[in-house]
Chains A and B, each alone.
Chain A
Amino acid sequence: AQKITQTQPGMFVQEKEAVTLDCTYDTSDQSYGLFWYKQPSSGEMIFLIYQGSYDEQNATEGRYSLNFQKARKSANLVISASQLGDSAMYFCAMRERPSKAGGTSYGKLTFGQGTILTVHP
Chain B
Amino acid sequence: DTAVSQTPKYLVTQMGNDKSIKCEQNLGHDTMYWYKQDSKKFLKIMFSYNNKELIINETVPNRFSPKSPDKAHLNLHINSLELGDSAVYFCASSQGLGVYQPQHFGDGTRLSIL
Seen from chain A, the residues whose Cβ lies within 8 Å of a Cβ on chain B are: 31-33, 35, 37, 39, 43-47, 50, 52-53, 89, 91, 93, 95-97, 104, 106-111, 113-114
The answer for the CA separation of A104 and B43 in the assembled complex, in Å, is 16
Chain A interface, >50% SS class: strand
Chain A-chain B contacts (Cβ-Cβ < 8 Å), number: 77
**A47 to chain B: which residues have CB within 8 Å?**
102-105
The answer, yes or no, to whether B55 is at the interface (CB within 8 Å) is yes
Chain B interface, >50% SS class: strand
Stretch of B18-26, B63-71, B76-84, B93-101 contacting A (4+ beta carbons < 8 Å): B93-101
How many chain B residues touch A (CB < 8 A): the figure is 32
The reply to whether B56 and A109 form a contact with Cβ atoms under 8 Å apart is no
The reply to whether B43 and A91 form a contact with Cβ atoms under 8 Å apart is yes
The answer, yes or no, to whether B75 is at the interface (CB within 8 Å) is no
List 22 A–B pairs whose Cβ atoms lie within 8 Å, in order of A's numbering. A33-B101, A35-B102, A37-B105, A43-B88, A43-B107, A44-B107, A45-B108, A47-B102, A50-B100, A104-B57, A104-B58, A106-B55, A107-B33, A107-B94, A107-B97, A108-B48, A108-B58, A109-B35, A109-B43, A111-B44, A113-B41, A114-B42
